[in-house]
Structures are given as C-alpha cells and as structure tokens.
Amino acid sequence: MRRIYLDNSATTKIDKKVLEAMEPYLKEEFGNASSLHWFGQEAHNALSKARGRVADFLGCNFLEVYFTGSATVSDNLAILGIIKATQKRGITKPHVITSTIEHPAVLEPIKYLEKTGEVEATYLAVDKEGVVKIEDVERAIKENTVLVSIMYANNEIGTIQPIAQIGDWLKARNQKSEKKILFHTDAVQAANYLDCNVDKLGVDLLTLSGHKIYGPKGIGILYKRKGVEIEPVVFGGHQERGVAPGTENVAGIAGFGEAIEEIKNQELRIKNGEKIKKLRDKLIDGILKNISGTDLNGSREKRLPNNVNTSFKGVEGESILMALDQKGVAVSTGSACASGSLDPSHVLMALGVGVERAHSSIRFTLGKYNTESEINYVLKILPGIIERLRKISPLK
Ligand code: PLP
C-alpha cells in the first residue's frame, strides 16, 4: 500500500546524511567520550564537532550548548534547574510565567513545582488564534518573577509566538531592574523553519530536539546563556559540565550535529519552508473548500509552514485518523486518546473552540519528503471518508 507520512511534528524520518554521520560511532568508534585513550578521544571529538555546529546554528558560544537525553529533559532542566538555582540564592517562592498552550514538558514541571509549593505560576491565555500577547506578559510580571517560558511555535496548531518581541521587552525591562527575569523558549517545532539565533530572540535558555529535524530520537539540546545559574536535576557524573550528567549518546549527538548542518543555512531554510507552505496551503484550502463543516484551528498567518489543523463538524478525530490510516495516510489528533485519556487537547481548548470541535480535529504536519501528489491523494480520499463517517457518527 502507498504510505503517506503527514505526522512530521510527532517525529521525522531520519535524513540519510544524518544516519551516515552516526554510523561510525555505533561501529568502530564506539568509545566513551570521557575515556582518555584513542577510542574515547574520537568520541570526544565528535561531541566537540556537533557542539560547534549547534553553536553556529544558534549564534552562541560553544560552551553554552548542553546535550541532553531529549527535549523533554531540556525543558525540565531549564525550569527545575533555574528554580533550584533561584532558591539557592534565597528566593523562597519565585514566580514563573508561561502560556496555557505549552507542551507538557514545560507545563508539567511548572505544575509540579506549584504543587510542592515551590513556585507561583501564571498561565497566560492566548487569543482565539493561539497567540500570546506581549502586553499580557508585561502585565503578569511580579516582584518575584524569575522566569518566563513561552514556546516559539506550537506543536498542535503551529502558531508562532512573538518571541523576539517578548525578548526585546524583557531585555529593556531587565536593564532597568536589579531583579533579572530569565527567558526560556521551547524551539522544538520552530527549528526547521524559523531563525533560532538566540541573540535575535533575546532568550537565555532554548530547547531543541533531534528527531523533529530529521535527526535521531533520544537527543536534545539546552542552550544556556553564559552566566545564567542552573542547578542539575540529575546527579552522578561530570558530563556536560555537571549540568546534564550521564554518558553521552555520541552517535545521537553526531547525528544531531549533522541534522543541524542541514537546516543551518537561513536562505535554504526559508526556501524549503516556502515549498512546504505551498503544499500546506493547498491542503488547507482543499479541505475548507471541498468539505462542508470544516474549520482551521489556529492562525492562518502566524503559522508554521508545515502545520494544518482542521476540525470536521460531527466526526470524532480518532475515527478520521483510523480511516486515513487504513488508506495509508498517517496523521494525528488533538486529543490524547492513545494514552487512554479522552480529554480534549488543552491547546484547542485554550483557543476557546469548545469540546466538540476539539474532539473533531485532525493535525496534518508536512515535512521535506512530502510531495504534491501525496497532498492530491489526501484531498481525493478525504471528502468520502468524512461523508461516510458523518453518516454513522453518534455526534450528529
Ligand atoms: N516540546 C515540543 C514543542 C514538542 O513538540 C515535543 C515533542 O513532541 C517536545 C517538546 C518533546 O520532545 P522530545 O520527544 O525530544 O522529548
């Protein structure tokens, strides 16, 4: 059967060049990067090369890049590590600002710290397009605010947040105050398409993931600006200067470096984004025009070039996903049904679309391997699928 992969925000197919870059470190150059012999030094060199490549991409210093086990680890480290360091300086109950549409890797550690009574938190609402307002960030600042964590682009609806503007505002505010507020962004979904230069964004901490950029799974990055104090949250080794201990995933890191190299060129990144955007727009317009009772979730303009999130009135998203899968098309839904919970997506709920529309949503996320013929195929089969499901739907 023809298989069409439209779930690139869940994970991406590894790039051939990435796989080649990883191979030596899974074979003959298998050393532990901490060992002093040749094998160890070969591995260590691979880490240095990859660290340099990531630093180039982010426009930062080599020593500001930390390798972690995933973006989930990086987000947790950024939040827990900054709060622990703050507490060490004697601030007992610091205040954190985030948004209601963050990934659970950001929301959950904040909620955990709130539950243990260690932080006060503000969850900023988004507008109906899914965008955080800078004025709301300004208004939420308190005497004890130490950290703002807002994602660069959302994983479900692809909304792009005004990170550089928030960064600018925080920088100006910090210049006038003794009490500095740090700024973290989860750039996991943005990295393929948007400029991640940390100075332009004005961020102190930034998270990336390997498997969303045609790299391997199980590898993440935390950028931490020089001078920003962070406490480790895992103990037991000196790796990554004690900030993220544990024997380094050398092959994964080498793969990450290669994946970053592929998206490093700004012009090329924009060009590839434009190509994918054309397919995205064809899919959005085709769905909205040819199928009645459909809506686009999130902003049309401030949207990643690869994200299509639409609701189909009167049909469960899971039914559409299963029907498309039977035809060889892989997509995802907003609700976390697969994990045994039938809760509607917190992101769609934050847009105010209501439970029913949230449950009837499907996310198509495109990538560099998708073709126009694949989009044409989806547009050909989708109206029939929706018509059939609407006839048998209990939601009618
Ligand atoms: N942050 C965002 C925005 C994501 O989309 C994801 C993965 O879906 C993560 C964090 C977690 O990434 P990882 O799979 O590397 O832990």
Task: List residues near ligand 1 (CB under 6 A).
Answer: 70-72, 75, 103, 105, 151, 155, 186, 188-189, 209, 220
CATH number, residue 49: 3.40.640.10
Nearest-angstrom CA–CA distance, 308 and 297: 8
Predicted local confidence at residue 395, as pLDDT: 65
**Domains of the chain: total:** 2
Compute the distance from residue 99 Cα to the ligand 1 centre, in Å: 16
In 3D space, the residue among 183, 221, 187, 185 whose CA is nearest the CA of residue 66 turns out to be: 221
217 C-alpha to center of ligand 1: Å?
10
287 neighbors 294 (Cβ within 8 angstroms)? yes
3-state secondary structure of 327: coil
Amino acid identity, position 161:
Q
CA atoms within 13 A on the CB side of 75: 23
Ligand 1 atom 7, closest CA: 10
Report CA(105)–ligand 1 centroid distance (Å).
Answer: 7
- Rounded to the nearest angstrom, the distance between the alpha carbon of 365 and the centre of ligand 1 is 14
Residues 231 and 283 in one domain: no
Measured in Å, residue 72 CA sits from the centre of ligand 1 at 6
Residues 190 and 288 in one domain: no
Of ligand 1's listed atoms, the one at least distance from the Cα of 73 is 16
| Same-domain pairing of 185 and 41 | yes
Write out the DSSP string of 365-391: E--TT--HHHHHHHHHHHHHHHHHHHH
Pocket test for ligand 1, best of 8, 106, 188 (most atoms within 8 A of CB): 188
Q: Can you give the pLDDT at residue 393?
A: 78
**Residue 133 and residue 52 share a domain:** yes
Same domain, 173 and 271: no
| Domain co-membership, 80 together with 30 | yes
For helices 266-290 and 372-392, the axis angle rounded to 10 degrees is: 30
Q: Which two tokens stand for residue 370?
A: 């998708």
Last residue of a domain, one of 263, 291, 315: 263
Q: Which of 19, 121, 296, 337 is catalytic?
A: 337
Range of the structural domain that residue 241 is part of: 16-263
Q: What are residue 324's phi and psi, to 5 degrees? A: -65, -40
Ligand 1 pocket mutation pick from 12, 74, 155, 209 by most atoms within 8 angstroms of CB: 209
* 210 CA closest ligand 1 atom index: 15
Which CATH number goes with the domain that contains 310?
Answer: 3.90.1150.10
Same domain as 85, residue 157: yes
Domain boundary residue, one of 221, 237, 263: 263
Any catalytic annotation for residue 337?
yes
From 211, 239, 263, give the residue that closes a domain: 263
Query: What's the pLDDT at 334?
Result: 65
325 and 182, same structural domain? no
Whether residues 223 and 322 share a domain: the answer is: no
Minimum-distance ligand 1 atom for the alpha carbon of 10: 8
Query: What pLDDT is attached to residue 340?
Result: 53
Atom of ligand 1 nearest to the CA of 74: 16
In this structure, are strands 182-186 and 205-209 parallel, antiparallel, or unpaired? parallel
CB 224 within 8 A of CB 64: yes
Q: Are residues 225 and 271 in the same domain?
A: no
Handedness of CA 147, 9, 104, 122 (dihedral sign): positive
Same domain, 8 and 59: no
Ligand 1 center to 153 CA (angstroms): 11
Per-residue pLDDT 10s for the chain (396 aa) are 899 999 999 999 999 999 999 999 999 999 999 999 999 999 999 999 999 999 999 999 999 999 999 999 999 999 999 999 999 999 989 999 999 999 999 999 999 999 999 999 999 999 999 999 999 999 999 999 999 999 999 999 999 999 999 999 999 999 999 899 999 999 999 999 999 999 999 999 999 999 999 999 999 999 999 999 999 999 999 999 999 999 999 999 999 999 999 999 888 899 999 999 999 999 999 999 999 999 999 999 999 999 999 999 999 999 999 999 999 999 999 644 444 567 889 999 999 999 999 999 999 999 999 999 999 999 999 999 999 999 987 766
Question: Domain check: are 63 and 137 in the same one?
Answer: yes
